[in-house]
């Protein structure tokens, strides 16, 4: 059966993703990345002098606009990440500002979602968002690939794919945004092992939740990947494992104005 070229590929099983996000919340979410993004978005909004009346928070996994920042706005619509659908319940030209933190990297049809946000913004409206970037968890992905190649003779995706900075800028232009600005914030965090890395990253970057999953056993691979952190991650022996958190346009933030 041939695929429809006009349909976005299914990268994420959203039902499975929702279950894993809920499990992460029950286990106790580690929010240092979200807190960093929220602080940065707040600083950027404070630097904008214009008035925003109607605001939408798209799928952020926490309170992105707390008081006193939220008191600047007449209304805030918070869209929860709680369904399979990627259709946003937003009326055309109903918003002055749209924000999103650490959510858009879970989208199957990112061009479609960006186009929906652009249509919901009034002329001269602003989109300010952050998502994980292409270099996120590079060390972990390399460790898993090396361990699985040695144990199983092949490699399968075990960390969700992330968008590259250049691609995000092109997608913003494709969606119809004017004056798009994209940048990267690189954060290096050190863990005792690959297993502790997985426990800490679940709320923002759970394992690959694709439709096509490896049938190989999950137990030997993480064990093998966590055994030689000094070799796989470039850390000296006896030091903690390095894990890069790359936040580019989506990684960290993405800003774009709707055309007049």
pLDDT band, residue 258 (cuts 50/70/90): low
Average pLDDT over residues 157-168: 82
Give residue-wise pLDDT tens across range 228-239.
Answer: 433 334 444 444
DSSP secondary structure code for residue 104 in this structure: G
- DSSP state letter for 9: P
User: Domain spanning 14-258: which CATH class is it, in words?
Assistant: alpha beta
Mean pLDDT of 152-181: 85
At 150, the pLDDT band (50, 70, 90 cuts) reads confident
* Residue-level pLDDT at 73: 94
CB 10 within 8 A of CB 110: no
Over residues 12-36, mean pLDDT: 83
**For residue 195, what pLDDT band results from cuts at 50, 70 and 90?**
low
Contact by Cβ (8 Å): 104, 129: yes
CA dist 69 and 67 (Å) reads 5
| pLDDT of 212 | 45
pLDDT tens digits for range 198-250: 555 555 555 555 544 444 444 454 444 444 433 334 444 444 545 555 655 43
Return the axis-axis angle of helices 138-152 and 194-201, rounded to nearest 10°: 130
Query: What are the extents of the domains in the chain?
Result: 14-258
What's the pLDDT band for 111 if we cut at 50, 70, 90? very high
**The token pair that represents 15 in the structure block:** 């039902």
Concatenate the DSSP letters of all residues of 191-230 into one string. ESSHHHHHHHHTTTSPBP--SS---S-SSHHHHHHHS-HH
Per-residue pLDDT, averaged over 107-136, amounts to: 92
Sign of CA dihedral 12, 16, 17, 20: negative
pLDDT attached to residue 101:
93
CA atoms within 13 A on the CB side of 222: 13
φ and ψ at residue 119, rounded to 5 degrees = -65, -30
Can you tell me the distance from the alpha carbon of 81 to that of 25, in angstroms, rounded to the nearest whole number? 13
What was the pLDDT predicted at 79? 94
| Nearest to 172, CA basis, from 94, 104, 79 | 104
> CA 46: distance to chain centroid?
23
Q: What is the number of other CB atoms lying within 10 angstroms of the CB of residue 25? A: 12
What was the pLDDT predicted at 227? 44
Q: Give the residue with greater pLDDT, 260 vs 35.
A: 35
Residue 146 is inside which H or E element, if any?
A: helix 138-152
| pTM more than 0.95 | no
Structure confidence by residue, pLDDT tens digits, 123-136: 989 999 999 888 88
DSSP string, 33-60: HHHHHHHHHHHHHHT--S---EEEEES-
Calculate mean pLDDT across residues 74-80.
94
């Amino acid at each position: 059966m041939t695929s429809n070229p006009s349909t976005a590929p299914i990268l994420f099983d959203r039902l499975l993703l929702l279950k894993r996000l809920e499990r992460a919340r029950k286990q106790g979410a580690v929010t240092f990345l979200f807190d960093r993004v929220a602080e940065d978005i707040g600083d950027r909004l404070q630097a904008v002098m214009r008035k925003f009346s109607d605001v939408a928070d798209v799928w952020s996994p926490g309170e992105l606009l707390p008081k006193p920042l939220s008191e600047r706005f007449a209304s805030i619509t918070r869209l929860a990440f709680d369904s399979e659908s990627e259709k946003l319940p937003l009326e055309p030209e109903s918003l002055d500002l749209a924000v999103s933190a650490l959510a858009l990297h879970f989208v199957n049809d990112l061009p479609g979602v960006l186009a929906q946000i652009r249509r919901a913004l009034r002329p001269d409206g602003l989109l300010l968002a952050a998502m994980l970037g292409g270099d996120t968890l590079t060390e972990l992905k390399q460790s898993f690939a090396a361990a699985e190649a040695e144990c199983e003779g092949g490699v399968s995706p075990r960390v969700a794919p992330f968008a590259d900075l250049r691609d995000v800028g092109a997608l913003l232009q494709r969606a119809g945004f004017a004056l798009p600005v994209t940048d990267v914030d690189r954060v290096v965090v050190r863990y005792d092992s690959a297993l502790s890395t997985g426990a800490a990253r679940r709320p923002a970057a759970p394992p690959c939740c694709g439709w096509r999953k490896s049938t190989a056993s999950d137990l030997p691979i993480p064990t093998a990947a966590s055994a030689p952190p000094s070799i796989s991650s470039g850390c000296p022996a006896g030091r903690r494992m390095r894990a890069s958190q790359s936040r580019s346009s989506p990684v960290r933030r993405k800003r774009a104005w709707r055309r007049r």
